[in-house]
């Protein structure tokens, strides 16, 4: 609730958290209180009347679609314990209290600090891994490399940019129509696309107008790409601009398609994304998804490159709880985007 924000931020400030948003009242309020599906479940423990550990389960975006059923979904978020209270017993008690008292299926990932706790100590199953891809637009991402390596990658990036211009002029995908807008409204066309995927038995997280309005409220620069073929909406993508790791990044936050695209159509869409990134003076384009789902296959491939975990802050294994009688094979194939939990 509103009364918890001060204690939440005090705990965040006590340590060198990478996520600056967890030290900002406006961001915390948006993330955990203003969600149209209701405030997050907040679990914590105290030492000498002071909160020293916390974890939350929040509805991002609230409904999982699986085998033509809607299932209540939560994202486990912001597990954090003060350095002086990080005994294994405290971690386990807090974590399992959240899992056991949250009424719905839970998805969550890990960072470089928590991954060992989940996999080694708790022995949790990794249902799938989120696979990263993207593109350096400027040479800034490689400026910290060793001298010769930096020169090599700078030349490579510039040559690739020239080649992208060449193929953009060469390709002519007349049958594909793309509309780009900075006004992100979840309209009837998009709702019908999701309903059609629901009827086909696709696995994904359901969105609606209120979720869209809330999820993108904090971003100053955002874009909606709608893809048409023969005047029919066959997919949409959302992009936001975000400064992370001292870089200006264009983040592909969400995507949904009703069919697999041709090789040419995939390139055409990604060239439009690159054009937006260049116009916004971004240094990189980045996204991730589940390779076991066919929608993400429309994103993978040139001119985007696969990004190995070793060059990223951490990998993104996905853990799932409270699945009940649901088929784990279906869960492993879900279309999972950045919009489906609390990154960026």
Q: Is the distance from CB of 251 to CB of 238 less than 8 angstroms?
A: no
3 state SS for 264-285: HHHHHHHHHHHHHHHHCCCCEE
Q: Is the distance from CB of 58 to CB of 32 less than 8 angstroms?
A: yes
Helix (H, G, I), strand (E, B) or coil at 254: strand
Q: What is the pLDDT of residues 309-330, one digit of tens each?
A: 777 777 899 999 999 888 888 8
- The confidence score (pLDDT) of residue 16 equals 59
Which of 84, 4, 19 shows the shortest CA–CA distance to 52? 84
10 Å CB burial of residue 178 (0-12, 13-18, 19+) is middle
Query: Mean pLDDT across the stretch 52-66?
Result: 88
Instruction: Provide the token pair at 340.
Output: 């489906």
Q: Is the distance from CB of 106 to CB of 320 less than 8 angstroms?
A: yes
Q: Is the distance from CB of 331 to CB of 192 less than 8 angstroms?
A: no
Q: Is the distance from CB of 49 to CB of 80 less than 8 angstroms?
A: no
Which of 252, 255, 270 shows the shortest CA–CA distance to 343? 252
Q: What is the pLDDT of residues 111-136, one digit of tens each?
A: 877 888 898 889 899 999 999 999 88
* Per-residue pLDDT band at 203 (split at 50, 70, 90): very high
- The confidence score (pLDDT) of residue 8 equals 80
d(CA 136, CA 141): 7
* CA distance readout (Å), 53 to 18, 58, 305: 17, 17, 38
Instruction: Provide the token pair at 163.
Output: 């080649």
Q: Is the distance from CB of 312 to CB of 129 less than 8 angstroms?
A: no
Q: Which residue has the higher pLDDT, 139 or 185?
A: 185
10 Å CB burial of residue 285 (0-12, 13-18, 19+) is buried
User: Is the entire prediction scored with pTM above 0.85?
Assistant: yes
Percent pLDDT > 70 in the chain is 89
Over the chain, what is the mean pLDDT? 87
* Per-residue pLDDT band at 272 (split at 50, 70, 90): very high
Count CB neighbours of 174 within 10 A. Answer: 5
Q: Where is mean pLDDT largest: 107-121, 146-160, 270-284?
A: 270-284
């Amino acid at each position: 609730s509103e009364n918890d924000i001060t204690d939440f931020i005090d705990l965040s400030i006590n340590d060198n958290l990478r996520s600056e948003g967890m030290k900002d009242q406006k961001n915390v309020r948006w993330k955990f209180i203003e969600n149209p599906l209701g405030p997050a479940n907040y679990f914590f423990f105290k030492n000498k009347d002071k909160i020293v550990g916390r974890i939350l389960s929040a509805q991002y975006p609230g409904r999982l679609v699986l085998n033509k059923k809607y299932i209540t979904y939560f994202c486990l978020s912001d597990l954090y314990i003060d350095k002086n209270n990080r005994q294994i017993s405290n971690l386990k008690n807090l974590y399992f209290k959240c899992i056991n008292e949250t009424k719905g299926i839970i998805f969550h990932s890990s960072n470089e600090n928590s991954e060992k706790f989940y996999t080694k100590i708790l022995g949790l199953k990794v249902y799938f891994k989120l696979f990263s891809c993207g593109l350096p637009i400027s040479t800034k991402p490689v400026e910290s490399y060793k001298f010769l390596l930096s020169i090599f990658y700078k030349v490579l990036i510039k040559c690739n940019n020239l080649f992208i211009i060449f193929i953009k002029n060469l390709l002519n995908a007349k049958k594909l129509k793309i509309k780009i807008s900075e006004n992100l409204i979840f309209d009837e066309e998009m709702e019908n696309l999701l309903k059609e995927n629901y009827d086909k038995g696709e696995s994904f997280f359901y969105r609606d107008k209120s979720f869209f309005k809330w999820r993108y409220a904090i971003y100053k620069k955002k874009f909606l790409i709608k893809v048409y073929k023969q005047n029919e909406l066959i997919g949409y993508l959302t992009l936001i601009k975000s400064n992370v790791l001292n870089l200006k990044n264009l983040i592909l936050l969400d995507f949904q398609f009703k069919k697999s695209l041709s090789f040419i159509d995939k390139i055409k869409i990604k060239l439009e994304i690159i054009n937006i990134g260049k116009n916004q003076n971004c240094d990189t384009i980045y996204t991730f998804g589940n390779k076991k789902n066919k929608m993400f296959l429309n994103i993978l491939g040139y001119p985007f490159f696969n990004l190995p975990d070793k060059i990223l802050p951490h990998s993104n294994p996905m853990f799932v709880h409270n699945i009940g009688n649901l088929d784990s094979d279906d869960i492993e194939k879900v279309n999972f985007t950045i919009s489906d939990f609390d990154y960026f």
